[in-house]
A and B are shown apart, each in its own frame.
Chain A
Amino acid sequence: MSDVVTLTLRTAPDGPLDLDGAVTPDRLALLGEREIAALAMWDGARAARLGDFFTVEGERAGRVRVVGATAALDGLGAGMAGGELLVDGDAGQRAGAGMTGGALRVTGNVGDDAGAAMSGGSLHVDGRAGDRLGAATPGATRGMTGGEIVVRGSAGDEAGARARRGLIVVGGDVGARGARAMIAGSLVVLGRAGASTGVGSKRGSVIAVGGADVPATYRYACTFEPPHVRLTMTYLRRRYALSVDDGAVAGRYRRYCGDAGTLGKGEILTLVRG
């Protein structure tokens, strides 16, 4: 038993490696070094073992660290239920997808579908995220149903699409159709939210500190100081040491209700500067 299991990618792979479900701290916490090295994974369409690509150090630990040319690794932490997983660098697609618990930290960027359909735990990304952050997997009716995603950089299109619960925070801008068809939950954008934000959403909140392209199907309600925004921003400062300016914490927000084409109980809040 050791404090941490370290997986070191020996060489940069030619193409993406699919680790979906293989590298989760809760699973590795039960295994020895040889058992970890024998775990199944995919090298493109070819079945492989972790030991074919990684050097495994440590065993039976709830903390896992992945190092090397990690940008080509898809499915890191996908389905994880507990423990801590640190990716020292970039992660490929589906990082933390379907996770139900534990903490996944990526010090670089993540690709598309990060945190897709996750239901618990936290995904913390120091860099940028691709499309469909915390959104639904293809064909699914629900995106994220719980947990927290914090991306310090920007995110691509459709962040939080079809989300049912949970919190998604993006430190930079978000692309088009953020919170599309959201059922509930919160998308906090410290930058600007792109075109068609919240289109088709039933409930849920988009907090756009840097403003948003509010769809015509959202109706202006009022300008006020939302207590839950203050609570959320304070929580983000304290829990994730996120840099949130005082204006975003204590400021007044314009509230828009929508989408009028659906249930209409969603909201977009945009900060009033000055």
Chain B
Amino acid sequence: MSAADVEIRGVRIEDTFAEAFGMRGVRIVITAKTLRWAREAASKLTGFATSVIACKCEAAVERELTPDETPDARPGVSVLLFTMDADSLGKRLVERVGQTVLTCPTTSCFDGLPEAVTRVPSARALRVFGDRFQISKVLGGERYWRIPVMEGEFLVQESFGVQKGVGGGNFLILAEDADRALDAAESAVDAIAGMSGVILPFPGGVVRSGSKVGARAYAGMIASTNDAYCPTIRPITRSSLPGGVNAVLELVLDGLDYGAVARAMRAGIDAACRPGVVAISAGNYGGRLGPHHFHLHRILSGDDTPVPRPAAPATGQPVTSDATDGGR
């Protein structure tokens, strides 16, 4: 079988790649008296966190944790949060943990990357909410802050480990109609749910509004609709849609490392290959912007090793504008 002929259950896998960027990520472990309240806090913390462009960060629930997996032996939820640099990561942590976890009944908040060398001491800023009634405790070399609140106390670990991650892994589901596309996308999301080190930051894990860099008509736009994959304007733009495709949905993945994203893409693509899906594709910028390339055929062959970074583009070379990246 040639590289161009890869199929899964009759669904063609295009010989292309997803292009992703370097990001910085933290894992936030939220525990609570019951899983309900850990979920509540995680839900609020990860709200409005689909794309760094407008939301300043990308975040979602990684998975739910059993008491055996959490520092205080309570049920919990782990959240991954990504930004473009460690400095802004610290700021987002202060904002989001301060407004959504500190405020949520019974919760405590811990670092989920204890091995990370780079750390952001975000709770140093949060502690002042205690108005000098806060108390610090050191346990196993880690400092925690006890902040008095009306319910009792909020406990938060002082520093969070920061890891270099990968943002913007993606694949496109090209389907015969919107219902089939949604079925396939839901299957892919279910297959990825709970995988370690990766999140899907968009609503329900799915993007319907893939974008291209900039805009044809409006100067100053950072991103605009990915017209090459919009079926309703197929005849009046330079369409990339194969015949028979009437709807496209995208999954965007952020991960703590290349392998986590590659494994999740493999699982998601496999699950998405259902009846009514014509092809699986991916969004890229011609390989000239993002250092992380996820070649679909390579991933599906089981190869999770990073692809070497390509040479830098020649000076003055324009960047393609027909890429999709989920709106970032």
Contact = CB atoms under 8 A, between A and B. Distances in A.
Interface residues of B, number: 16
B140 A231 contact: no
Interface string B151-167: 01111000000000000
A235 B140 contact: yes
Contacts of B144: 228, 231
A225 interface: yes
Contacts of A201: none
B152 A224 contact: yes
Interface string B260-296: 0000000000000000000000000000000000000
B138 A227 contact: no
Given A225-B152, A231-B108, A231-B144, A205 B72 contact: no
B139 A227 contact: no
A120 to B, nearest CB: 9
Q: How large is the interface on A (under 10, 10 to 19, 20 to 34, 35 or more residues)?
A: 20 to 34
Given A226-B153, A227-B153, A231-B155, A203 B135 contact: yes
A224 B139 CA distance: 21
Interface string B125-159: 00000000001011110001010000011110000
Nearest to B153: A227
B154 A227 contact: yes
Contacts of A205: 135, 137
A267 to B, nearest CB: 8
B155 A249 contact: no
A239 B140 CA distance: 9
Contact of B155 (A167, A203, A227): A227
B47 interface: no
B155 A235 contact: no
Residues of B contacting A: mostly: strand
Contacts of A146: 138
A166 B154 CA distance: 21
A165 interface: yes
B71 interface: yes
Given A230-B73, A231-B108, A167 B139 contact: yes
A232 B152 contact: no
Contacts of A165: 138
B74 interface: yes
A154 interface: no
B35 to A, nearest CB: 16
A234 interface: yes
Contacts of B135: 203, 205, 265
Contacts of A70: none
Given A224-B152, A225-B152, A230 B137 contact: no
Contacts of B154: 227
A24 interface: no
B66 to A, nearest CB: 13
Max count, chain B CB within 10 A of own CB: residue among A227, A228, A234: A227
A93 interface: no
Contacts of B155: 227-228, 231
Contacts of B71: 231, 234-235
Interface of B: 71-74, 108, 135, 137-140, 144, 146, 152-155
23 contacts: A146-B138, A148-B140, A165-B138, A166-B138, A167-B139, A203-B135, A205-B137, A222-B152, A224-B152, A224-B153, A226-B152, A227-B153, A227-B154, A227-B155, A228-B153, A228-B155, A230-B72, A230-B73, A231-B71, A234-B71, A234-B73, A235-B139, A239-B140
Given A227-B153, A227-B154, 16 more contacts: A205-B135, A205-B137, A224-B152, A224-B153, A225-B152, A226-B146, A226-B152, A227-B72, A227-B108, A228-B153, A230-B74, A231-B72, A231-B139, A231-B155, A232-B137, A239-B140
